Chain A
Amino acid sequence: MIRHLAVLLLLLGLGAAFAGLMAGYTPDEELNLTGRYYAENTAKDIGAANIVTAIIVTYRGLDTLGEVTVLFLTATIVGMVLARGRRERALQLELPPPGELLETGSRLLAPLILLLGAYVFINGHLTPGGGFQGGAILASAILLLLLTYPTRRFGHRMITVVESVSGLAFISLGVLGLLFAGGFLDNRILPLGEYGSIFSAGAIPIIYAFVGLKVGAEFSSMLVNLSETEGK
């Protein structure tokens, strides 16, 4: 009880700080320095219609590289945590069969979902979407398959190869930018192309595709690892 009261009091203090922040907040009428630069220059410099994508993949590409690495790291560590002290048990929990509906449905849906995911990340520079969203969609296909075949062992190997290769590709593209364009992760190693078309914005679609693949692979790896804790 004392703990609850203490926490409440402390949060009251924190809340006061938050209230101070809100009280001091006035919405901008005009874009600020950074926002204005992006609005003015993205189209001509980067060639991406989706400014957020331009920021994520190019302007703040280093953040995104870090972000992808966070997922890689998490997936790796989840694997490590769950492997810690694991004893392989022969006995598997008997699960009821998935049933006709789920099985057929997932067979039908999984390729479509994968396709949708690919569409989302390839069009990331034009539409709301991109590598993370697309990757999450890819992983949802895997999730569906996991639900359908809970006892099946998925291809860890395939997943790691995809995540490593796409990670390496991301970095290589970044270094190419350093060598052949203005700096690390500069997208102008490829021609900017026709603004608004699918082959535009330089290397952004390629980078985003790799990001999508990587994110999909990481999520899948986490899901697979977590699901394999079942039935033990």
Chain B
Amino acid sequence: MVNALILIALGLGAAFLIGLLPSRWRGLAYAITLAALAAMAAIAGGWVWYFAMEGGQALEIHTAGTPPPFAVALHLGMAEAVLTLLVTVTSLLSAIYLKDTLHRLGRRAMAVLLILTMSLAGIILTRDLFNLYVFIELMVIATAGLVLLSASRFALGAGFKYLIISQLVSILMLIGLIFAYHATGTLNIDGMADAALITRQGGMLAFFLLFIAMLAELKPFPANGWALDLYESAHPAFSAILSSAIAGAAALYAVDKLLLIGGTEWLPVATAVGLTSFVAANLLALPQDKDRRLLGYSSIGQVGLILVVIGQQDILGDDYLFIAGGILLSHAVAKAGLFWLSGFIPEQGLSAWSVLRQRPLLLFGFVTFIAMLTGLPPFPGFYAKWELMGALADADRIGVMILLLFAALVEAAYLFRWFGYVIKREPNEGIAQPRPPLRKCLVVHSATAIGWGLAWVWGELSVHANLLHALPLLFALGFLLIEGLPAWLKNSVAIAGLLAWFWLSYPGYDPMQLIFGAVILVGGALILLASYHAHGKRIGFYPSAMLMYAGLAMLIVAETSFQFFAAWELLTIGSYFLILRGKHSEPHALSYLVFSLGGAFLILAGFSLAAQGADIFLVSALSELSEPLAPWIFALLAIGFMTKTAAIGLHIWLPGAHAEAETDVSPMVSGILLKAGVFGLITLALTMGKQQLFGIELTHVMLWIGALSALIGNLLAAFQEDAKRLLAYSSIGQMGYALFGIAMMNHLGLLMALMFVINHYIYKSMLFLSVGGIAKRTGTRDMYRMGGLITLMPLSFIAVLIGIIAVSGVPPLSGFGGRWITYNAIIDIETRLPLVILFLAGPIAFLYLFRLIHTIFLGQLKDEHRKLKEAPFWILLPQMIFVVCLMIFALVPGLALRHVDNYINQFYPGGGLDWAGLTITSQYGYWAPIPIMVVVGAIFATLFLWLVFVNRKAQKVKQFNIVFAAERPHRPETTHFAWNFFAPYRKALGFLTEPYVTRFWETISEALHSGADLTRRIYTGNGQTYAIHLLAFVVAVYLLGVGL
């Protein structure tokens, strides 16, 4: 345990020492700087070890041989140790990054950096108010100095603005300080707290001035224009220090210390200021297109978030350090890493970051940082977010919860939009590929490594399981290590992994989990067969896909709400990466992510409310909840799950995301991923059952949503020109059926939903694969560009034919089984209108299915398609397996379903089916698959033979034996019969397909953007105006916090 003052003396001593060296000896000065910073970091590391591993007690360090309050005293505990380590390591890494700049500017700059680091440690350690002021002034001056590291010609102006603000701050602080001293007779922070400063005469005002001055250092909205200018113009390595060490650690901790004096009375003020900043900064970041300024906004937002946590410490109890630390360290590491990265980017625009694509390791760092900022698993922010929401819900601070989640969603939106740019955009012409020196890359890599290390530590500290111990997740992450191998090899590993995991978990599954498990793991492996078609290394595909499968596999076995939510976030993020891989999928992937995260946040809120403060909450315990909370929780969770099943109103992400995805990805995200939402809904229905909100039966609402989804989804599918979009819309309809089944809340309803889970997986995967294979060959997905492919692609034709028979629910295939159960189920229920709508949706499905097979395979062959080959083998193979599956499932549906039917009895006793032999009997009739198959087969064969016979005499004409008009249409495709295939229907029902929902969400997004764009004009760039903002902020908080 090294004395804390040695650390301070070391920094200062080194700064003075390098002044002694001749100014030419820059190398030596730099070596001394690094050595001193490293020694400081080592000392702080030793402290952390002492407190964490040896269970050391916090110590009070006196100076001048005199106890406080008569002399300055320091305090060293776990929090101080960690923050000092953070500060020193950030400085050390930045110093390494800054090597050439520091060499250019000479020892002066090095001395300033050393003193800055020392003063930050001082701010963290000191327990004396005036000493705090001195260290803050040191920090301010050093900051103003280090702004000059930047080559930007605007840095001087930004530095001056900062000085103006800090003058104002120090005036307020000194006045507050002297009156606080006068009121209590001490300058020691603990002493003031003991003397209850704020209850003394004049003490409240004195504290206000002190507090507001300290808050100003946190760059609260709107008094933060200066900070943005600083972030934008400073050297990125200094911005890293500014964001993670100065604001993120030292200033925040100073505020935390002041609140010891202020007590619980001032916590709401901190919360309010933090919330305002978090919400406003993230909103204002939306229209931002300069990278460093965007990071500045995000920094301000994150610091605001931590301030909220500080303000909520009264309800966080023992978890306070875990939560605050988790968010703080995530922010610090991520922001420092991003700022360091920004130094490699030749331009300040966001799209310019796409140059990172050439550097996989740096790109991995970028993803890590963004995931840390957004609080995704397995990073500390995720655990912290979970605990924070739990505490807020327990204390009924719903407003704080809503605002936090909203702002977090906005932040995720712009951060992942940026990520989309990086992956998909092309850099501007003439941007040189950056060649950062290895030293700088290592700095970024170490931040990445620290991020993952922290993820592990937080997992260990958490009361829940460490996510980094979860085998599926590790398996997915393991693919990052073997990215260099060829795709076929990785594909084999992936398939083996999925099957092995199924084999291992299989004995533990109950029948329902078994259905989902089979669809996810075995089904996933089956679809992966198609991936053998891909060549090369397919970088990024396997980690993403396996992350999604890991999440899904963890989801179905989740017992606690935490496990459930963690799995949900994992599968969301994995599928996002997967969808983003499509050629034109950038905007669709983003919209998918925003909707999914929004849904996830609702789920988070629901679970937090449900837990009522308990650390561990079993999902099964949802059934024990009672009024008045229960219906709200039901609604939150249901909406959350319905974003995943793309219920109508929340569906606008789906068509683009599914249609633009790669050929083998579409079946994964459609056939498998959608089932996650169904799984959630079933769990919800089985545990919580019927809930009433304002007298409305919530399952009834779901019934309506299901029916409408089925109708509108099918209708929209019928009017698509793009085959994959058609299939995508059809999924909305299909999931509508499943939702309807669940919402019926009876035995057969649930069975029907499960039937849809299996059926939809099989036929939608199959159809997406065949259409994908055709699209690969023809180079288009537009159906009017196809036609007559039946002779060239007979196998694809068979797959589609079987597929549409299954989807449409006509005998003899398993789709009919689904319909049969549906009709049996709905005969009983009382709500007639949604039932009618559901019936109506049925025939509409025929429309789009007919269009699919007719316009692709029948009609005339296009000239340019004459030499097409059948779809690639690996894409056909799973289709053929699916055909076999469909046949088997159609013949012996009881294979899977009878167990499930039995299993459902424990939830809905009675009303089940009778599975005697091969015939299935309900109270309204029976379903005998094999006779049906035979009868239908016979009819089909008869008709087919008759057609062949009749067609024998038909006259053959050449394809182009038609009369051309003298006219040439502007859009030639409009003359094709497949174009606008169902125009009459559109005329009749088109009003139902108007994009009202899309317009609704677009309006919201537009309003947020333009509102933000307007608001950010308050940052005029004039330093004096910024000072007025600060003054206005002070007066406003005074009036709101003290005056009233």
Give the CA-CA distance A38 to B181 in the complex, in Å: 15
Does the CB pair A165–B63 fall under 8 Å? no
Chain B min CB distance to A49 (Å): 18
Residues from chain B with Cβ under 8 Å of A188 in the complex: 65
Give the CA-CA distance A74 to B1035 in the complex, in Å: 31
Interface segment among A79-87, A92-100, A138-146: the answer is A79-87
- B797: interface (CB < 8 Å): no
Does the CB pair B175–A34 fall under 8 Å? no
- A181: interface (CB < 8 Å): yes
Residues from chain B with Cβ under 8 Å of A24 in the complex: 201-202, 205
Does the CB pair A73–B112 fall under 8 Å? yes
Encoded as 1 (CB less than 8 Å from any A CB) or 0, chain B from 9 to 48 comes to 1001101110110000000000000000000000000000
Q: A62-B131, A160-B19, A167-B19 are in contact. Are A3 and B1028 (CB under 8 A)?
A: yes
| A59: nearest chain-B partner, CB-CB | B71
Does the CB pair A10–B138 fall under 8 Å? no
Residues from chain B with Cβ under 8 Å of A37 in the complex: 70
Contact of B206 among A21, A69, A172 (CB under 8 A): A21
Does the CB pair A66–B138 fall under 8 Å? yes
Give the CA-CA distance A23 to B1020 in the complex, in Å: 38
Q: A17-B1038, A164-B17 are in contact. Are A11 and B1031 (CB under 8 A)?
A: yes
- A70: interface (CB < 8 Å): yes
- A88: interface (CB < 8 Å): no
Interface segment among A25-33, A104-112, A126-134, A192-200: the answer is A25-33
- A231: interface (CB < 8 Å): no
- B187: interface (CB < 8 Å): yes
Q: A60-B72, A65-B12 are in contact. Are A164 and B66 (CB under 8 A)?
A: no
Encoded as 1 (CB less than 8 Å from any A CB) or 0, chain B from 162 to 180 comes to 0000000000000100010
Interface centre among B65, B105, B119 (most CB of A within 10 A): B65
- B693: interface (CB < 8 Å): no
- B242: interface (CB < 8 Å): no
Give the CA-CA distance A79 to B145 in the complex, in Å: 10
Give the CA-CA distance A13 to B209 in the complex, in Å: 13
Does the CB pair B112–A177 fall under 8 Å? no
- B182: interface (CB < 8 Å): yes
Does the CB pair B15–A6 fall under 8 Å? no
- A190: interface (CB < 8 Å): no
Does the CB pair A66–B122 fall under 8 Å? yes
Number of interface residues of B (CB under 8 A): 65
| B1029: nearest chain-A partner, CB-CB | A10
Does the CB pair B1028–A183 fall under 8 Å? no
Does the CB pair B182–A28 fall under 8 Å? yes
- A124: interface (CB < 8 Å): no
Q: A10-B1032, A20-B205 are in contact. Are A163 and B19 (CB under 8 A)?
A: yes
Give the CA-CA distance A32 to B191 in the complex, in Å: 13
Contact of B16 among A7, A23, A167, A174 (CB under 8 A): A167
| A65: nearest chain-B partner, CB-CB | B12
Residues from chain A with Cβ under 8 Å of B8 in the complex: 62
Contact of A17 among B17, B112, B208 (CB under 8 A): B208
Interface centre among A26, A38, A185 (most CB of B within 10 A): A185
Interface centre among B71, B109, B156, B201 (most CB of A within 10 A): B71
Contact of B135 among A66, A84, A164 (CB under 8 A): A66
Give the CA-CA distance A38 to B66 in the complex, in Å: 11
Does the CB pair A13–B182 fall under 8 Å? no
Contact of A80 among B105, B115, B1034 (CB under 8 A): B105
Residues from chain B with Cβ under 8 Å of A185 in the complex: 63-64
Contact of B63 among A34, A79, A183 (CB under 8 A): A183
Encoded as 1 (CB less than 8 Å from any A CB) or 0, chain B from 116 to 138 comes to 00010010001010110011011
Does the CB pair B1028–A33 fall under 8 Å? no
- B111: interface (CB < 8 Å): yes
- B865: interface (CB < 8 Å): no
Does the CB pair B179–A21 fall under 8 Å? yes
Residues from chain B with Cβ under 8 Å of A84 in the complex: 148, 156
Q: Considering the complex, which residues of chain A in the window 113-172 have a beta carbon less than 8 Å from any beta carbon of chain B?
A: 160-161, 163-165, 167-168, 171-172
Residues from chain A with Cβ under 8 Å of B61 in the complex: 183
Give the CA-CA distance A167 to B66 in the complex, in Å: 23
Does the CB pair B63–A164 fall under 8 Å? no
Give the CA-CA distance A172 to B145 in the complex, in Å: 26
Give the CA-CA distance A13 to B185 in the complex, in Å: 28
- B321: interface (CB < 8 Å): no
Does the CB pair B148–A81 fall under 8 Å? yes
Residues from chain B with Cβ under 8 Å of A177 in the complex: 64-65
Does the CB pair B19–A186 fall under 8 Å? no
Residues from chain B with Cβ under 8 Å of A67 in the complex: 134
Give the CA-CA distance A23 to B841 in the complex, in Å: 77
- B403: interface (CB < 8 Å): no
Does the CB pair A6–B1028 fall under 8 Å? yes
Does the CB pair B130–A63 fall under 8 Å? yes
Does the CB pair B72–A73 fall under 8 Å? no
Does the CB pair A59–B70 fall under 8 Å? yes
- B511: interface (CB < 8 Å): no
Residues from chain B with Cβ under 8 Å of A174 in the complex: 5, 9
Chain B positions near chain A (C-beta within 8 angstroms): 3, 5-6, 8-9, 12-13, 15-17, 19-20, 61-66, 69-72, 105, 108-109, 111-112, 115, 119, 122, 126, 128, 130-131, 134-135, 137-138, 141-142, 144-145, 148, 156, 175, 179, 181-182, 185-187, 201-202, 205-206, 208-209, 1028, 1031-1032, 1034-1035, 1038-1039, 1042
What would be 8 A-B contacts, judged by CB atoms less than 8 Å apart? A6-B1032, A32-B185, A34-B185, A59-B72, A62-B72, A62-B128, A70-B138, A183-B71
Closest 5 CB pairs of A and B: A182-B65, A24-B202, A32-B185, A164-B19, A77-B145
Query: Can you name 17 extra interface pairs (CB under 8 A) apart from A34-B69, A177-B65?
Result: A32-B185, A59-B66, A62-B134, A66-B134, A69-B115, A69-B138, A73-B111, A73-B142, A79-B108, A163-B19, A164-B17, A164-B20, A168-B13, A171-B9, A172-B13, A183-B5, A183-B65
